[in-house]
Amino acid sequence: MPEFLQFLFSGLTVGAVYAMVALGFTLIYNASDVVNFAQGEFVMIGGMVTVFAHAAGVPLPLATLLAILAAVAVGLLLHALAIEPARGASAVTLIIVTIGASIFLRGVAQVLFDKQAHGIRAFSGDAPIVVMGAAILPQSLWVLGGAVLTFLALWLFLDRTVMGKAVLATAANRLAAQLVGINTRTIMALAFGTSAAVGAVAGILITPITLTSYDAGTLLALKGFAAAMLGGMGSPLGAVLGGLLLGLFEAFSAGYLSSSYKDAVAFLTILAVLFLMPSGLLGRRAVERV
Amino acid sequence: MSLLAADGIGIAFGGVVAVDGVSFSAEAGKVLSIIGPNGAGKTTLFNVVSGLYRASRGRVTLSGEDVTGRPPEELARRGLSRTFQNLQIFSRMTALDNVMVGRHLRERRSLLADLLRLPSVVRQNRETRSAAEELLAFVGLAERGDAPAGALPYGALKRLEIARALALEPKVLLLDEPAAGCNAIETHEIERLIRQVADRGVAVVLVEHDMRLVMAISDHVLVLAGGRPLAEGTPEAVRADPAVVAAYLGPQGGRWREAARA
Amino acid sequence: MTVRFPSSRALTLLILAAAVALLPLLFPSGYYYRVAALVWISGLAAVGLNVLMGQAGQVSLGHAGFFGIGAYAVALGPAHLGVPPWASLVLGAVLAGALAWLVGRPVLRLRGHYLAIATLGLGVLVAIVLTNESRWTGGPDGMRVSRLVLFGWRVAGAETWYWVTGGALLAGTWLALNLLDAPTGRALRALHDSEVAARVAGVDVAAYKLRAFVIAAVYAAVAGSLLALMNGFITPDQAGFLHSVELVTMVVVGGLGSVAGAIVGAAVLVTLPQLLTLFQDYENALLGILIMTFMIFLRDGIVPSLGAMLPGRRGAGAARAA
């Protein structure tokens, strides 16, 4: 039983990170039909900037703020310099553009920072909390709590503010949104910026547990994408569900089957979803138009 | 002899019934025109008959063989060819290459031979090329063979699609609005082409809006409205049918009189 | 109809043969033979990938997986199964082709970014397996590869490998060019432009896509085998995501659909990091910029853009460019 709980908690913790990455994917995909491969780099920036700013003497809370701002800036630049100019290109072209951006950001991080793995001290200490025989890190609670807060904030934004409604409108039908006066370019920039912020927060929260490095982004992006696909591309709730499920799949298969193939779980999930239920758990079924 | 027969075709998309109980028969050497107001289900019917959509009910028979639900590649193998309302040109290939693709089923196809460029492939290329050139000449595009198809004007592309469809040496040819967007001269060209094709013994089925063309060229006309058959018969009979005039052209019916004069 | 002589196919082969034959005259040291051999090897993989991406218009973000299969085949065959390297090369190609044939049918039914992600996933899975099964493959540190011995002649040395890989590229290019002016090539290019119209013309679109996929896989596997045999060593990152992205970049930069372009793209991507050895740390950043710039602004790629600039090659010539 304690083993099971252990896997459950570690699965939920890493799942929360995947959920946040997936949410970022979904936001951008909804606003612009772009599958943003650089999503993982936002998480990396969140962790790395925090580490290096803090090491340079900046107090931790301020460092995290800086990290989030840096990620948002990168997100906005990505939109303005790479996505906007490529508008109208095919879906595959856009994916390759974002892959290029991801590699570029990784390359810059490699030079700007270094190639080592880095950590931050846990926010409320390292002493594990023992629940029914399972040891839970306090940082895990931070991650889960932070994720919940992010989802709530996002939900409130999308559901309760005019700007949020504009994002939803753009996602539903870009042309119609333009016709009612919504500046879709601003909305897309907003989507990128918000995605970046969400990613950065995830990075900051998880770094005390998993450490971060210049190349932490790629695998995260792929897993976040798997989560988004599992939940249903385009559905925010699906992204969260998919992320948590993927985290649990990984933790349980690593625990009970083989830990060296942990990373394969995400890719097997992608393939399974694509072949068995392409619209994912909560995605809308694409209607074959004439 | 009926080369293509559709029997009670019905298809719906979600809750929208696009075609409801349509039947027709196309004979060798004859031209059947299917007309009707926009949204009457004409192109949808074509898409069902040419294997792009699967009908919810009904049968399609080609030369007596039941081909309901078979994919387009298979129908092509059995001698069915079509053109598209919205032009499906291979725009990055030359006009000649477009027609050469139409010869695909008439070629012996071996990956190994192609990779090694065996003499048989070189010889076959020559044959395919000259057959394609003949067809380009037939539709009046002889000089445009080397032009990238994407650069050709609209009217030329309409004729190119016909050439490509004919390259198959089909028994049945479906033409989806061949004269759409064409001026009077181009339409006349199309009319001449269709007549020549039918004279070769091909069963031609036409979806068209150009009434003058329909009246001039059809042996038989089928009128659809709202996915259902409204009237059927010779051009003259259909023209005179008050239900058709009302459904299609509203109370004026002026264009019919115009067509009668033409 | 005038016969265009020399055809652009023959011209491409001629230029490539001349390049392979004459380049060594410019080489100041043995190091250059090695770099050029790397270009020929990557070019071979890129030419194959171009058949899939440029001609058939599909996408594969996991192509390095096949490269890795070929590479590890020549490593594992002699080391664990007692199969001589040349036979292992053939086996690797067959294995890659068989795998492509198996997964190709379901995967190629997908479109757009779904196809991209599926192939990406497959490629990464191959890399993961190669990395994890360390008892067989030596794990992340890789494994040694025994030298190729053909009829008692030990194939070794940068110069020798330059000629071997150059010959392989010439052969592969000849095959790929032949495809263009043949029913298969026409069918692939047709389905690229309009699957519907191709099907209506009788082209078995699914079968041809699969054929392109298998061809591309075999090319990559042979290229991978050659690299492993040349280096005497192989690591699992050769099957990894980054390498897959590099391969795609080669094809795109050189010009999708252009056989010559694939080779040019390979040359660019292999030599650029070599030219910047001082800035080795900037490799990733540069690759990223290259990808973004070409995909956003120069989507046509190098060779077709150059071809369009030549007088008289506009229109027809460009459309039929090899």
Range 271-290 of A in CB contact (< 8 A) with B? 287, 290
- C147 touches C229 (CB < 8 A): yes
Residue C4 reports pLDDT greater than 70: no
Residue among A107, A222, A278 minimizing CB distance to C284? A107
Residue C264 reports pLDDT greater than 70: yes
Question: What's the per-residue H, E or C state across C169-225?
Answer: HHHHHHHHHHHHCCHHHHHHHHHHHCHHHHHHCCCCHHHHHHHHHHHHHHHHHHHHH
Residues of chain B with pLDDT under 70: 1, 248-262
Burial of C263 (0-12, 13-18, 19+ CB in 10 A): buried
Q: What would the pLDDT profile of C34-47 be if each residue is shown by its tens digit? A: 999 999 999 999 99
- Owner of token pair 């063979």: B145
Strands of chain A (E only): list them: 129-131, 134-136
Residue among B77, B101, B130 minimizing CB distance to C186? B101
A125: confidence class by pLDDT, cuts 50, 70, 90: confident
**How do B2-13 and B57-62 pair as beta strands?**
antiparallel
Q: What would the pLDDT profile of C207-259 be if each residue is shown by its tens digit? A: 999 999 999 999 999 999 999 999 999 999 999 999 999 999 999 888 888 89
- A143 touches A209 (CB < 8 A): yes
Which tokens in the block code for residue A278? 């392409």
- C113 touches A233 (CB < 8 A): no
Question: C217 or A86: whose pLDDT is higher?
Answer: C217
Q: Give me the pLDDT at residue C314, please.
A: 43
Sorted by sequence, the CB contacts under 8 Å of residue C152 that are 6+ apart come out as none
Q: How far apart are CA A181 and CA A169, in angstroms?
A: 11
Q: What would the pLDDT profile of C72-130 be if each residue is shown by its tens digit? A: 999 998 888 888 888 999 999 999 999 999 999 888 988 877 888 889 989 999 999 99
Q: How far apart are CA C161 and CA B4, in angstroms?
A: 62
Q: Per-residue pLDDT averaged across A134-153, rounded? A: 85
Beta carbons within 10 angstroms of residue B85's beta carbon: 16
Interchain contact, C295 vs A89, CB within 8 Å: yes
Sorted by sequence, the CB contacts under 8 Å of residue A284 that are 6+ apart come out as A232, A234, A235
- A102 touches C308 (CB < 8 A): no
Instruction: Give the chain A residue whose CA is nearest to the CA of B41.
Output: A290
Range 38-67 of B in CB contact (< 8 A) with A? 44, 47
Beta carbons within 10 angstroms of residue C218's beta carbon: 22
Taking alpha carbons only, the member of A147, A68, A72, A117 closest to residue A216 is A117
- Considering chain C, what percentage of its residues have pLDDT values greater than 90? 54
Q: Give me the pLDDT at residue C93, please.
A: 96
Q: Which DSSP helix (H) or strand (E) runs through A29? A: helix A2-32
Instruction: Give the chain B residue whose CA is nearest to the CA of A290.
Output: B44
Q: How far apart are CA B72 and CA B163, in angstroms?
A: 18
Partners of A108 on chain C (C-beta within 8 Å) are 285
- B160 touches B141 (CB < 8 A): yes
Q: Give me the pLDDT at residue A288, please.
A: 35
Residue C319 reports pLDDT greater than 60: no
Give how far Cα B102 sits from Cα of B76, B175, B178, B210, Å: 10, 15, 18, 27
Interchain contact, C122 vs A271, CB within 8 Å: yes
Instruction: Give the chain B residue whose CA is nearest to the CA of C191.
Output: B90
Q: How far apart are CA C155 and CA A229, in angstroms?
A: 48
Q: How far apart are CA C19 and CA C162, in angstroms?
A: 12
Please provide the average confidence, as pLDDT, over all residues in chain A.
86
Which tokens in the block code for residue C54? 């440029």
Q: Give me the pLDDT at residue C1, please.
A: 38
Q: Give me the pLDDT at residue A183, please.
A: 84
Interchain contact, A101 vs C283, CB within 8 Å: no
Q: What are phi and psi of B140, to 5 degrees?
A: 80, 30
Instruction: Give the chain A residue whose CA is nearest to the CA of B86.
Output: A290
A180: confidence class by pLDDT, cuts 50, 70, 90: confident
Partners of B46 on chain A (C-beta within 8 Å) are none
Please provide the average confidence, as pLDDT, over all residues in chain C.
87
Residue C3 reports pLDDT greater than 70: no
Select from C200, C203, C218, C320 the residue whose CB has the most chain B CBs within 10 Å, as the one to mutate to test that interface.
Answer: C200
| Contacts of C30-34 spanning 24+ positions with Cβ under 8 A | C30/C158, C30/C159, C31/C158, C33/C158, C33/C159, C33/C161, C33/C162, C34/C158, C34/C161, C34/C162
Residue C277 reports pLDDT greater than 70: no
Residue among B52, B92, B128 minimizing CB distance to C193? B92
| Contact C290/A at CB under 8 A | yes
| Contacts of C134-138 spanning 24+ positions with Cβ under 8 A | C136/C76, C136/C80, C137/C72, C137/C75, C137/C76, C137/C236
Interchain contact, A103 vs C299, CB within 8 Å: no
Residue among C120, C245, C296 minimizing CB distance to A82? C296
- C187 touches C208 (CB < 8 A): yes
Q: Which DSSP helix (H) or strand (E) runs through C161? A: helix C158-180
3-state secondary structure of B231: strand
A138: confidence class by pLDDT, cuts 50, 70, 90: confident
Taking alpha carbons only, the member of C211, C273, C245 closest to residue C48 is C211
Q: Give me the pLDDT at residue C318, please.
A: 39
Which tokens in the block code for residue A178? 């333009």
Partners of B50 on chain C (C-beta within 8 Å) are 200
Chains with at least 3 CB pairs less than 8 angstroms from chain B: A, C
- B44 touches B54 (CB < 8 A): no
Q: Give me the pLDDT at residue C222, please.
A: 97
Interchain contact, A82 vs C282, CB within 8 Å: no
**How do B31-35 and B203-207 pair as beta strands?**
parallel
ipTM (interface predicted TM): 0.88
| Contact C99/A at CB under 8 A | no
Q: Which residues pair with B228 in a beta bridge?
A: B225
Residue A172 reports pLDDT greater than 80: no
Taking alpha carbons only, the member of C183, C237, C240 closest to residue C208 is C183
Partners of C183 on chain B (C-beta within 8 Å) are 104, 107, 109, 114, 121, 124, 128
Interchain contact, A100 vs C287, CB within 8 Å: yes
Chains with at least 3 CB pairs less than 8 angstroms from chain C: A, B
Burial of C285 (0-12, 13-18, 19+ CB in 10 A): buried
For residue B77, the distance in angstroms to the closest alpha carbon of chain C comes to: 6
For residue C95, the distance in angstroms to the closest alpha carbon of chain A comes to: 21
Taking alpha carbons only, the member of B202, B134, B196 closest to residue B174 is B202
- C216 touches C111 (CB < 8 A): no
Interchain contact, A290 vs B44, CB within 8 Å: yes
Q: Give me the pLDDT at residue C299, please.
A: 77
**How do B172-176 and B203-207 pair as beta strands?**
parallel
Radius of gyration of chain A (CA): 19
Across A118-132, B109-123, C25-39, C198-212, least confident range: A118-132
What is the count of residue pairs from B and C with beta carbons less than 8 Å apart? 118
Sorted by sequence, the CB contacts under 8 Å of residue C31 that are 6+ apart come out as C158
Q: How far apart are CA A262 and CA A256, in angstroms?
A: 11
For residue A31, the distance in angstroms to the closest alpha carbon of chain B comes to: 27
Q: What are phi and psi of B62, to 5 degrees?
A: -120, 115
Q: Which DSSP helix (H) or strand (E) runs through C318? A: helix C316-319
Taking alpha carbons only, the member of C239, C289, C59, C46 closest to residue A100 is C289
Q: How far apart are CA C114 and CA C205, in angstroms?
A: 18
Q: Give me the pLDDT at residue C279, please.
A: 67
Q: Give me the pLDDT at residue C188, please.
A: 95
- Amino acid identity of residue B191, one-letter, is E
Beta carbons within 10 angstroms of residue B246's beta carbon: 13
- B241 touches B254 (CB < 8 A): no
Q: pTM for the full model?
A: 0.89
- A193 touches A75 (CB < 8 A): yes
| Contact C276/A at CB under 8 A | no
Q: How far apart are the first and last CA of chain A?
A: 54
Interchain contact, A287 vs B44, CB within 8 Å: no
Residue C320 reports pLDDT greater than 60: no
